[in-house]
Amino acid sequence: MLLGSIEAGGTKFVCAVGNEDYRVIDSTKFPTTTPEETLQNCIDYFKQFKDLRAISIASFGPIEIRRNSPKYGYVTDTPKPGWSNTDFVGTIKKAFDLPIAWTTDVNGSAYGEYVLSTLFNQRLNSLVYFTIGTGVGAGAVVDGKFIGDLGHPEMGHIRVKRHPDDLNFKGICPFHGDCLEGLISGPTFEARTGKKGQDVPLEDPVWDIMAYYAAQAALDTTLMMRPNKIVFGGGVVSERFLKMIRTHFKKLLNDYVSVGNLDEYLVMPLAKDNGSATVGNFALALKALVE
């Protein structure tokens, strides 16, 4: 039995097939171009596999997740050019008469980490997964279920207190300017320094400024939700950067509530190479098949 995974990012798509043990059997990736071309690439890929039983899609957004909405399964008012009001699930469903799970890219990653925690004997009731990359987002899982009824969370757009050495930077979010995403997403490196993130040494003060903002997001999440752990993934995150986040988090929290060992509370993903969403998709596809 094979399960399908579509991790739909604004820059690239990653499609994979795996089994009920969440192991990748085959995968491919291609750039995110037009909806027509990109979704056809997905369909062509999965048509190779005759024993495909279910597919899960974890997509960039915003997306419509309310099943009672006529636009369930759509990418809605996204800043990604050409993708607004794209019937993602409907297009895949026309090609494959299979159960299809549908959620956000960060929800998929959160679910993957939730599942992996159990496999690694870290039985958790809840976790929150933040991704910091081209954009910033977060997904939350509590008792195996996602949070969000009116829609999915948009934790990447929360407001944070400005760092005193960063007051002149206006932020790059087209909607909110200096929200969390507008201050710590990958493209902010170029906006601040004229260099891409991989070319900015970790000794540069900009990393500490960004860690301060990420720590505020972790603090707000802690005080509002009290999850078992918070995972930071995405192309911007490294263990050294996470150590900076922990340092700021400890100062900001000021021992107000207990979160245990910070090295076990604010963590890198268990999945290698930012593969959390693929694992999550396999688990969600299996769940859709069973249900």
User: What is the 3-state composition of the chain as percent helix, strand, coil, each rounded to the nearest 5?
Assistant: 40, 25, 40
Which tens digit of pLDDT belongs to each residue from 188-235? Answer: 999 999 999 999 999 999 999 999 999 999 999 999 999 999 999 999
> Average pLDDT of 116-134?
91
Provide the β-strand partners of residue 132: 136
Report the alpha-carbon distance of residue 10 to residue 114 in Å, rounded.
Answer: 24
Which tens digit of pLDDT belongs to each residue from 21-77? Answer: 999 999 999 999 999 999 999 999 999 999 999 999 999 989 999 999 999 999 998
Q: What is the mean pLDDT of the chain?
A: 95
Neighbour-count burial of 225, counting CB atoms closer than 10 A to its CB (0-12 exposed, 13-18 middle, 19+ buried): middle
Region of 63 (left: φ > 0; alpha: ψ -120 to 50; beta: rest) is: beta
DSSP-derived secondary structure letter, 174: T
Take residue 72 and report the two structure tokens written for it.
Answer: 């369930």
How many Å from the N-terminal Cα to the C-terminal Cα in the chain?
16
> Average pLDDT of 10-15?
93
- Is 0.85 surpassed by the pTM of this model? yes
Residue with tokens 């739909």: 8
- The packing angle between helices 205-225 and 239-253, to 10°, is 60
Residue-range domains of the chain with CATH: 2-104 (3.30.420.40), 121-269 (3.30.420.40)
**Are 227 and 220 a contacting pair, CB within 8 Å?**
no
